[in-house]
Amino acid sequence: MPSEDETDFRFLAENSVDIILRARLDYSIIYVSPSCLRILGYTQEEMRNAPPFSIMLPEDAPMIDEFNARGSASGTDSGTAIHKLRRKDGSLVWMEATSRQVLDPVTGKVKEYIVVLRDISERKQFEEKLAAQALTDGLTGLANRRSFDETLDREWKRTLREGSQLSLLLVDIDNFKSINDRYGHQVGDDYLRAISAALCSTVRAPDTVARYGGEEIAVILPSSASEGALKTAERLRVAIEALRLTHEGNPVGGGRVTVSIGAATALAREGGTIRMPESLLQAADHALYKAKQGGRNRVATAVLVAIRV
């Protein structure tokens, strides 16, 4: 006959919205609460008969040993771990696992684990949404300045490791201020969104399009030589012209919206002394200035040589 404590445990477990289980030291399951069917799609019998770690992702399995090792070092509480489990239908669910070691009253050694598994998928989705919003420009949906800075730094480090090349484009909408003055800020915002979409649809999948500031948009082109960057910049310029957005304050575009683009390429080579990636930005900005001074609605380029570390 079960003890009063065992009866209380089973009552709590069978009425919990979380999955509660007892596991042996080899992680085979002694008991699992009925909520496993709702959360994971497995019956209690299927869970008990499943090999340890069979519904975990292989890369997460070592986490459990570390998880319990920390508990052994600190006492009876193993703490909390967050990982994914695979449902019976093959989909993945984010779980927060809280484990407590149960000690043998005679030997004082761990004899089993009590684990509470909580579905935190909605929380993770919310966290991921917040993280994405922190790196996204609210108006255009492009990467924001913070995301741009992080991406440029990461791509430059990769360029150094591979000894390859990295190109950067700075795109500026010609005479943008007069768009807001003539048509209002709402039209200016609409134009920015339309231009951003056109740029995104023209670049490669590995490229990053980011709102650099105001009407300036930056495009990071990993593993792109100067020739490729020039061709990409020209495609972008033509794509914006093809939108045929009205802009009477832009005579160089014949009353349509146009852009000027500065393109710069950094070559990872031994012996360079230029500070990167800041100098790549400066070179692209200088090239953009040349494009504007040259009459706008055009592309200008610059090339750098930087040190490989």
Residues noted as catalytic = 215
Q: Are strands 299-307 and 259-269 parallel, antiparallel or unpaired?
A: parallel
Distance CA 154, CA 105 (A): 54
Q: How far is CA 181 from CA 178, 195, 250, 252, in A?
A: 5, 19, 12, 18
CB-based burial, 214-224: b 16+ in 10 Å, e otherwise: ebbbbbbbbeb
Judged by phi (left if over 0) then psi (alpha if -120 to 50, else beta), residue 133 lies in: alpha
